[in-house]
Every structure is written in C-alpha cells, then in structure tokens.
Amino acid sequence: MDDISMKPQQLTITALSEEGEGIGRLDGMAVFIPGALPGETVECHLVEQKKNYARGRLTQILAASPARVSPPCPYFPECGGCQLQHLDYPAQLEAKRVTVQDALERIGGFKGIDVPLTLGMAEPFRYRNNGQYPIRKVNGQVRIGFFKAGSHEVIDIKDCLIQPEINARVVAALKTWIQESGVTTYNPKTQEGMMRHLMIRHSNITGGLMVVLVATVKTLPGEAGLIERLRGAVPEIESLVLNTNTKPGSQVLGPQSRVIYGKERIFGEIDGFKFGISPLSFFQVNTAQTKVLYQKAIEFADLKGSETVFDVYSGIGTISLSLSRKARKVYGIESVRPAVEDAVENARRAGVEHVEFIAGKAEDVMPRLAEQGVRPDVVVLDPPRKGCEPEVLRTLLDMKPEKIIYVSCKPSTLARDLKILCVGGESGLEEPAYRLAAVQPVDLFGETGHVEAIILMTRSGSGDKK
C-alpha cells in the first residue's frame, strides 16, 4: 500500500467501532473513518497508518445508508461528545448489538453467540444526569462546552441535547460571572489559571442540581457574588461545591471539595432505593436505563433467597441494594473508601442490614473472606472501562462461584476478560471454568458510540442451560 495516503480510497463500511467510527477494510486492513456508517460506500483520504490499522478522513459519501439522518445538534460533528447523531436511533441500537457481538467473536473467541437487540431508551436525548464541561478563555472570551473531536480545543456550547435543558442556564450564568469578574481560566499548557471545569449533577427525586466548580484554588475571589449570580439564574441549585484540582492532566476532579452553598449531597433513586450523591460519587449517567440494566442483572442472578452474593466494584452500593431483596447476604467490595462510606449510609437509610460493604481491592478482600469461610454463590462485576484486574479474575477462578454476572461499558475489555474465564487455554486450565450463558446489550449512552453490556456466566458442568 505505497503512497496510499496520497490518493482517495473507496471503501465499503461494514460496522462501527466502540467509539462510533465507521470501519471499512483496505487490503484486509481495518480503516476507521469518523462520520461513515455501516452499509455505506465512501471515499476517504488516509490520515494515519499503523501496522494493523489506519484512520481515514471522510471526503465523500458515494452511497448513503438509508438510516442516515440529519443531526439535530448544531455542534455535530465538530463536538466530540456525540458520534452517532447522523444515524437513526433503531439503527444505533443494531450497530451497538453488532459491536458487542464482534468483540465477543473477534477478541473473546466465542462463536455462534446469540446477541439480542440492544435495549433502547424511550427518548435518546436529554437523558444525562451528569455533565462535565471544560472551561477555557480564548482571545479574551470565556468558553464553556466540550472538546472538539480529536483535540483539547473547547467548543463553546450553549445547549447540549443529551443534557437537561436546565444545564444551559447554569452554563450561561457561570460564563457571564467569569467574564465580568475577571477570574482566570486554566491553561493546560502553562498550568496557570483558576477555573478548570464545571460539573452539573441532577436529582431525579427533587429535580434539583449539584453544581461543582473545579478550580486550582481552595477559595475563589468573589464567592458571595458567584453564589448570588448562580442561584438567581438557577434557583433549582441545591448544592454548590468548589472542588480543588491542582494536578496536570485530564482528570476532572481533585480529591478535596468544599460546599460553598447548600447541601453536601443530592439524592437519586434507582429501583426504589435512595442514594446520596456527592461530587466524587459514581452514579450511572442514565438513571432510567440503569433501572433496565439492574432488572436484567436481577433476572440473570435468579436468586432464591439463600445465596451469598459478592458485588465487586460496588461503588456506592446501587447494584448491591437491588440484589439484597432476594439474597441471604450481599458483600459489596470497593477500593474507593469515600464510595464505601456512601454505600454504608445508603444501606442504613434503606434499613437494609444484610449487606456489608468492605473497603479494599477485590483481589485482597475476596481471599480474606474465603479464609473466614465466606464463599459466594453469585459474583457481580461492574468494573471501569479498563476491565477487571487480572488478580480479580484469578481469584474468581479459585473461588468458583456458580454464577458470574459481568456489567461492562467497554465490549473489548469485556471480551478480553471473558476469554480468561470461559476459555481454558487463556486461564491455564485444561477445560473452560465458565461458559457464556447469556448476553444483553443495553443503551445507556444514546447518540454516542458507547454501549453497556451485561453477561451471565455459569460454572461449566453446573446449572441449567439458558
């Protein structure tokens, strides 16, 4: 493929990547093309070529997909927050199903897996309960929005269509205050300036907001005026927090937070349980679809009331409490101590006494529980995008629970981990320890390329086949 980048290439798009890019093939090599859709014939210029793949820039659509639509957002596709607004929603759900199936087959080595259609949402807009907006100043003008696709340039966005409309009022009020007060904004290159990010969290119980201002300082000049400005524009604000982050890099929140107005936390509800949400709490961004996801986890667990359950990467206890209704005992295991403290309080508030939350790494906590004679019948895994630590998977192979339920937001790392648990050669076992019994994609991230998937594994040689 000499001088391949110097001339246009014609490709047929067969699938979408996990990031929502069209995938075509050129001489057997995968080419990722933002903006291209499955079923389309396109022309592109290659802009990057690696040993096993290339990236292309879409120059012309020669044959468009019948599922291509006009994106409703004026910032699409320049903004990198959404990748699929040009694909109608039913086709998004099918593309995400294919993404999960492809990862299981190509990375996991599973053949003939029946992946059902992605469970979609009633309305794929205005669904996020958590928005994070970088703040910059360009040519003297404040920008609050999202990063331009493939860059760290901030696009000034008045209203994001996957965020609640009320967020636009917070953004406008804060932008005016920064502009008028002269407070500096953060420059990641020089690491100078105060204001870094705005985070807005929503309560589905009260409709109120937690507004988190991320800055490099512990006190902002003119805080009283800032509170007055924001509260005057958005009286729904229940909590206003200043979070301090002095570290370089892309991490949004720092470790220290101070409430400058209102409550320490707001509250969200999932499956009849009330959860306290603080600035650092992990809480799924799509509350309605999280209920769908947890209902599927409960269905897969099929608890009869006598089981011991481990909820690994348990966060603030959302899945643990849902499972507690039908389990004899639930152990929530989480390495982030503030999340464990929140989980303990959430269980206390709900009056649930047979759930125990333990702070520590799963690979340390699970063997310690085993030494005490505690062994799980069911294990639920809900790791971050990077997947499970290898030590966690090895511990599961040693403990041999009857069922493992894996909740994942990244199909590729899910498939990698399943290969270890379900394919004997990868785990060093002569025979697979577990078999893949069921899979269900769930859409928590409409208009983006991301998809959640929930997997049921049963121990080989045990249980009824599904």
Catalytic sites, residue numbers: 409
Q: Which pTM value belongs to this model? A: 0.92
Q: Is the pLDDT of residue 315 over 90?
A: yes
Identify the burial level of 194 via C-beta atoms within 10 angstroms of its C-beta, where 0-12 means exposed, 13-18 middle and 19 or more buried: middle
Residue 35 in tokens: 């903006």
Going from the C-alpha of 60 to that of each of 45, 86, 266, the distances in angstroms are 10, 15, 48
Q: Closest Cα partner for 334 from 351, 355, 317?
A: 317
Best CA proximity match to 133, nearest among 160, 110, 111, 109 = 160
| Of the candidates 239, 231, 279, 246, the residue with the CA atom closest to the CA atom of residue 260 | 239
- Cβ atoms < 10 Å from Cβ of 310: 28
Please enumerate in sequence order all residues whose Cβ is within 8 A of that of 346, keeping only pairs 6 or more positions apart, or say none.
Answer: 273, 274, 275, 276, 316, 317, 321
| β partners of residue 459 | 434
pLDDT at 213 (0 to 100)? 98
Q: How far apart are CA 321 and CA 343, in angstroms?
A: 9
| Contact in structure between 48 and 55 (CB atoms under 8 Å) | yes
Whole-angstrom distance, CA of residue 230 vs CA of residue 169: 9
For the cut 60, the answer to whether the pLDDT of residue 465 exceeds it is no
Mean pLDDT of 74-88: 95
**How does residue 430 score in pLDDT terms, banded at 50, 70 and 90?**
low
Q: What is the DSSP string of 397-465?
A: HHH--SEEEEEES-HHHHHHHHHHHH-HHHHT-SS-SEEEEEEEEE-SSTTSS--EEEEEEEETT-S--
- State the Cα–Cα distance between residues 344 and 361, nearest whole angstrom: 17
pLDDT surpassing 50 at residue 466: no
**Phi-psi group of 351: left, alpha or beta (phi > 0 → left; psi -120 to 50 → alpha; rest → beta):** left
Which conformational region is residue 133 in: left (phi greater than 0), alpha (psi within -120 to 50 degrees), or beta?
beta
Cα distances (Å, whole numbers) of residue 312 to 250, 364, 376, 412, 444:
26, 12, 11, 19, 21
Distance CA 102, CA 108 (A): 9
CB 328 within 8 A of CB 354: yes
Residues of the chain above pLDDT 70, percent: 96
* Helix, strand or coil, per DSSP, at residue 88: coil
pLDDT tens digits, residue range 256-302?
999 999 999 999 999 999 999 989 888 899 999 999 999 999 999 99
* 465, two tokens: 């086949």
pLDDT digits over 329-367, tens only?
999 999 989 899 999 999 999 999 999 999 999 999 999
284 closest CA partner among 380, 439, 408: 408
pLDDT at 143: 97
Q: What is the CA radius of gyration of the chain?
A: 24
Of 105-119, 345-359, 360-374, 422-436, the poorest mean pLDDT is in 422-436
Distance CA 210, CA 256 (A): 16
Burial of residue 53 (number of CB atoms within 10 Å: 0-12, 13-18, 19+): middle
Contacts of 399 (CB under 8 A, 6+ apart): 366, 370, 375, 376, 379
pLDDT digits (tens, 9 = 90+) for 166-211: 999 999 999 999 999 999 999 999 999 999 999 999 999 999 999 9
**Within 10 Å of residue 1's Cβ, how many Cβ atoms?**
11
Please answer whether residues 450 and 18 qualify as being in contact, where contact means their C-beta atoms are separated by less than 8 angstroms.
Answer: yes
For residues 421 and 397, the answer to whether their CB atoms sit within 8 Å is: yes
Cβ density class 457-466: b for 16+ within 10 Å, e for less? bbbeeeeeee
Partners of 209 in beta bridges = 202, 237
Pairing of strands 237-244, 209-215: parallel
CA separation for the pair 326, 394 (Å, rounded): 27
3-state DSSP: the chain helix, strand, coil percent, rounded to 5? 25, 30, 40
Structural domains present in the chain: 4-68 (2.40.50.140), 106-119+284-459 (3.40.50.150), 130-270 (2.40.50.1070)
Nearby residues of 186 by Cβ (< 8 Å), 6 or more positions away: 135, 136, 192, 193, 194, 195, 196, 215, 216
Rounded to an integer, the average pLDDT of 230-247 is 97
**Mind listing the pLDDT tens digit for each residue in 91-101?**
999 999 999 99
Nearest partner of 409 among 288, 290, 304, 295, judged by Cα: 290
Nearest to 271 by CA among 317, 322, 332: 322
pLDDT in the model for residue 464: 45
